[in-house]
């Protein structure tokens, strides 16, 4: 019976680390990958004590998903001479997990100056 070893890179730092899995099937599901990331995969066959060379690599990209972090560095700036205007600024999330196509902002009135009370 042939045994197949699947190799996939799992981290890219100073060195590339590989995750390997042995299977007797002609397919293997690799899990725990980062969204919206390009990966390369290769396979080798083992029969007894003999092994083949690694196959040519095949590339695949995982699908996008929602960002895994919120926008950061949110600031608000009042507009001088425009008392009904505030500018809200932010930086994109550090883990966008794909292309950001839009943002939604919420504005809530906490109180007005006339509603302030001294306790």
pTM, entire model? 0.68
Residue 115, SS3?
helix
In whole angstroms, what is the distance from residue 56 CA to residue 58 CA? 7
Q: Which CATH class is domain 2-62?
A: mainly beta
Whether the CB-CB separation of 2 and 45 falls below 8 Å is answered with yes
Question: What's the distance, Cα to Cα, between the start and end of the chain in Å?
Answer: 82
Domain boundaries, the chain: 2-62
Reported as a single tens digit per residue, the pLDDT across 49-86 is: 898 998 998 999 999 999 989 999 999 999 889 988 99
Say what the pLDDT of residue 72 is: 94
Q: What pLDDT is recorded for position 12?
A: 54
Cα separation values, 106 from 15, 34, 70, 72, 79, Å: 43, 30, 14, 15, 18
């Amino acid at each position: 019976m042939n045994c197949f070893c699947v190799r996939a890179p799992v981290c890219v730092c100073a060195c590339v680390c590989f995750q390997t899995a042995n299977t007797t099937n002609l397919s293997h599901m690799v899990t725990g990958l980062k969204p919206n990331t390009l990966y390369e995969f290769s396979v080798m066959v083992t029969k007894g004590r003999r092994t083949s060379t690694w196959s040519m690599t095949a590339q695949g990209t995982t699908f996008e998903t929602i960002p895994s972090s919120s926008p950061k560095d949110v600031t608000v700036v009042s507009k001088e001479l425009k008392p009904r205007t505030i500018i809200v600024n932010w930086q994109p999330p550090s883990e966008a997990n794909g292309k950001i196509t839009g943002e939604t902002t919420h504005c809530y009135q906490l109180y007005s100056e006339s509603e302030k009370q001294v306790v």
